[in-house]
Amino acid sequence: MEGEALEGVALEDQVKLLTTELNGLSISASKKMSFRGRLGDASKRVVVWKKQMVASRTADILEQCLAAAAATEGTKVVVRADFGVDGKIAKSVTAAFGKKIKDKALMILTADVDADKFMVVACAPKSLKDVDCKAWVVASTEGTNGKGGGKKDTAQFTIPGVSHMDAVMEKAKTF
Protein backbone atom coordinates (compact mmCIF):
# COMPACT_ATOMS: atom_id res chain seq x y z
CA MET A 1 0.00 0.00 0.00
CA GLU A 2 1.20 3.51 -0.80
CA GLY A 3 0.50 4.68 2.78
CA GLU A 4 3.12 2.34 4.25
CA ALA A 5 5.84 4.90 3.42
CA LEU A 6 3.83 7.77 4.90
CA GLU A 7 4.02 8.95 8.50
CA GLY A 8 2.23 11.41 10.79
CA VAL A 9 -0.38 13.77 9.43
CA ALA A 10 0.13 12.59 5.85
CA LEU A 11 -0.61 8.99 6.90
CA GLU A 12 -3.64 10.04 8.92
CA ASP A 13 -5.06 12.00 5.97
CA GLN A 14 -4.42 9.11 3.58
CA VAL A 15 -6.11 6.59 5.91
CA LYS A 16 -9.21 8.80 6.15
CA LEU A 17 -9.34 9.25 2.38
CA LEU A 18 -8.81 5.57 1.59
CA THR A 19 -11.37 4.47 4.20
CA THR A 20 -14.00 6.73 2.64
CA GLU A 21 -13.14 5.52 -0.86
CA LEU A 22 -13.14 1.87 0.23
CA ASN A 23 -16.60 2.17 1.74
CA GLY A 24 -17.97 3.39 -1.61
CA LEU A 25 -16.34 0.69 -3.76
CA SER A 26 -18.22 -2.24 -5.24
CA ILE A 27 -15.68 -5.02 -4.79
CA SER A 28 -15.76 -8.48 -3.27
CA ALA A 29 -16.17 -8.71 0.48
CA SER A 30 -12.89 -10.61 0.85
CA LYS A 31 -10.93 -7.84 -0.91
CA LYS A 32 -12.67 -5.20 1.22
CA MET A 33 -11.75 -7.15 4.36
CA SER A 34 -8.14 -7.36 3.23
CA PHE A 35 -7.96 -3.62 2.54
CA ARG A 36 -9.67 -2.82 5.85
CA GLY A 37 -7.07 -4.92 7.64
CA ARG A 38 -4.24 -2.94 6.05
CA LEU A 39 -6.01 0.34 6.80
CA GLY A 40 -6.44 -0.85 10.39
CA ASP A 41 -2.68 -1.43 10.65
CA ALA A 42 -2.04 2.06 9.27
CA SER A 43 -4.55 3.51 11.77
CA LYS A 44 -2.64 1.87 14.61
CA ARG A 45 0.54 3.55 13.37
CA VAL A 46 -1.30 6.89 13.39
CA VAL A 47 -2.38 6.34 17.01
CA VAL A 48 1.20 5.50 18.05
CA TRP A 49 2.46 8.64 16.26
CA LYS A 50 -0.19 10.82 17.95
CA LYS A 51 0.75 9.47 21.38
CA GLN A 52 4.41 10.20 20.71
CA MET A 53 3.58 13.75 19.61
CA VAL A 54 1.49 14.38 22.73
CA ALA A 55 4.25 13.01 24.98
CA SER A 56 6.86 15.15 23.25
CA ARG A 57 4.71 18.29 23.39
CA THR A 58 3.84 17.64 27.04
CA ALA A 59 7.54 17.33 27.94
CA ASP A 60 8.34 20.61 26.14
CA ILE A 61 5.53 22.47 27.91
CA LEU A 62 6.51 20.98 31.27
CA GLU A 63 10.08 22.23 30.81
CA GLN A 64 8.73 25.70 30.01
CA CYS A 65 6.58 25.66 33.17
CA LEU A 66 9.43 24.40 35.37
CA ALA A 67 11.73 27.14 34.04
CA ALA A 68 9.06 29.74 34.78
CA ALA A 69 8.63 28.32 38.29
CA ALA A 70 12.36 28.58 38.91
CA ALA A 71 12.32 32.22 37.79
CA THR A 72 9.23 33.15 39.83
CA GLU A 73 9.64 34.53 43.34
CA GLY A 74 6.08 34.13 44.66
CA THR A 75 3.77 31.15 44.95
CA LYS A 76 1.97 31.67 41.62
CA VAL A 77 3.44 30.84 38.21
CA VAL A 78 1.67 32.10 35.06
CA VAL A 79 2.75 30.66 31.71
CA ARG A 80 1.54 31.01 28.14
CA ALA A 81 2.17 27.79 26.25
CA ASP A 82 0.10 27.53 23.09
CA PHE A 83 -0.85 23.92 22.45
CA GLY A 84 -4.47 24.49 21.49
CA VAL A 85 -7.44 23.79 23.69
CA ASP A 86 -6.36 20.27 24.60
CA GLY A 87 -7.45 19.21 28.07
CA LYS A 88 -5.41 15.98 27.97
CA ILE A 89 -2.13 17.82 27.48
CA ALA A 90 -3.12 20.38 30.12
CA LYS A 91 -3.92 17.64 32.62
CA SER A 92 -0.65 15.82 31.91
CA VAL A 93 1.39 18.99 32.31
CA THR A 94 -0.32 20.08 35.53
CA ALA A 95 0.00 16.61 37.06
CA ALA A 96 3.70 16.41 36.20
CA PHE A 97 4.27 19.97 37.45
CA GLY A 98 2.56 19.11 40.75
CA LYS A 99 4.87 16.14 41.25
CA LYS A 100 7.99 18.26 40.75
CA ILE A 101 7.02 21.60 42.30
CA LYS A 102 5.34 21.35 45.71
CA ASP A 103 5.36 25.02 46.77
CA LYS A 104 3.88 26.89 43.78
CA ALA A 105 0.58 27.06 41.92
CA LEU A 106 0.56 27.00 38.12
CA MET A 107 -1.70 28.75 35.62
CA ILE A 108 -1.34 27.91 31.94
CA LEU A 109 -2.93 29.96 29.17
CA THR A 110 -3.11 28.20 25.82
CA ALA A 111 -4.72 29.42 22.60
CA ASP A 112 -6.36 27.83 19.60
CA VAL A 113 -6.01 30.75 17.20
CA ASP A 114 -7.92 29.01 14.39
CA ALA A 115 -10.95 28.52 16.64
CA ASP A 116 -10.46 31.98 18.22
CA LYS A 117 -10.59 30.70 21.78
CA PHE A 118 -8.21 29.92 24.59
CA MET A 119 -8.09 27.83 27.72
CA VAL A 120 -6.95 28.78 31.19
CA VAL A 121 -5.92 25.92 33.49
CA ALA A 122 -4.74 26.30 37.06
CA CYS A 123 -3.49 23.80 39.61
CA ALA A 124 -2.02 24.03 43.08
CA PRO A 125 -0.67 21.45 45.49
CA LYS A 126 -3.05 20.72 48.35
CA SER A 127 -0.34 21.84 50.78
CA LEU A 128 -0.47 25.37 49.33
CA LYS A 129 -3.36 26.79 51.35
CA ASP A 130 -3.17 30.45 50.24
CA VAL A 131 -4.05 29.80 46.55
CA ASP A 132 -7.63 29.06 45.47
CA CYS A 133 -7.37 28.02 41.82
CA LYS A 134 -11.05 28.50 41.06
CA ALA A 135 -11.06 32.03 42.51
CA TRP A 136 -7.80 32.79 40.67
CA VAL A 137 -9.18 31.69 37.29
CA VAL A 138 -12.58 33.35 37.84
CA ALA A 139 -10.94 36.65 38.78
CA SER A 140 -8.52 36.45 35.86
CA THR A 141 -11.20 35.69 33.27
CA GLU A 142 -13.81 38.12 34.59
CA GLY A 143 -15.62 39.95 31.77
CA THR A 144 -14.57 37.53 29.02
CA ASN A 145 -17.68 35.29 28.81
CA GLY A 146 -15.50 32.35 29.77
CA LYS A 147 -17.03 29.06 30.84
CA GLY A 148 -15.61 26.44 33.11
CA GLY A 149 -15.28 25.43 36.69
CA GLY A 150 -13.07 23.86 39.24
CA LYS A 151 -12.13 23.48 42.86
CA LYS A 152 -9.62 25.03 45.22
CA ASP A 153 -6.76 22.92 43.83
CA THR A 154 -7.71 22.82 40.10
CA ALA A 155 -9.74 24.91 37.66
CA GLN A 156 -10.23 25.13 33.91
CA PHE A 157 -12.01 27.74 31.79
CA THR A 158 -12.43 28.18 28.03
CA ILE A 159 -12.73 31.74 26.77
CA PRO A 160 -13.92 32.90 23.34
CA GLY A 161 -11.74 35.50 21.66
CA VAL A 162 -7.96 35.15 21.73
CA SER A 163 -7.80 38.95 21.94
CA HIS A 164 -8.62 38.69 25.68
CA MET A 165 -5.52 36.63 26.42
CA ASP A 166 -3.10 39.42 27.34
CA ALA A 167 -5.60 41.00 29.74
CA VAL A 168 -6.30 37.65 31.40
CA MET A 169 -2.58 37.01 31.77
CA GLU A 170 -2.04 40.41 33.43
CA LYS A 171 -4.95 39.85 35.85
CA ALA A 172 -3.58 36.39 36.68
CA LYS A 173 -0.13 37.79 37.47
CA THR A 174 -1.54 40.44 39.82
CA PHE A 175 -4.14 38.26 41.58
Please count the other Cβ atoms lying within 10 Å of the Cβ belonging to residue 153: 19
Helices (H), 72-164: 87-100, 133-141
- The mean-pLDDT minimum among 1-5, 68-72, 129-133 falls in 1-5
- Contacts for 139 with CB less than 8 Å, ≥ 6 apart: 171, 175
4: confidence class by pLDDT, cuts 50, 70, 90: low
Q: Treating both helix axes as pointing N-terminal to C-terminal, what angle do 29-71 and 8-24 enclose, rounded to 10 degrees?
A: 150
Which runs of E-coded beta strand occur in the chain?
A: 76-80, 105-112, 117-123, 147-150, 154-160
Using DSSP, state whether 150 is helix, strand or coil.
strand
* pLDDT tens digit sequence for 17-59: 999 999 999 999 999 999 999 999 999 999 999 899 889 999 9
pLDDT score of 111 more than 90 = yes
Measured CA to CA, the distance from residue 70 to residue 142 in angstroms comes to: 28
pLDDT at 106: 97
Measured CA to CA, the distance from residue 73 to residue 108 in angstroms comes to: 17
Q: What is the percent of the chain with per-residue pLDDT over 90, rounded to a whole number?
A: 85
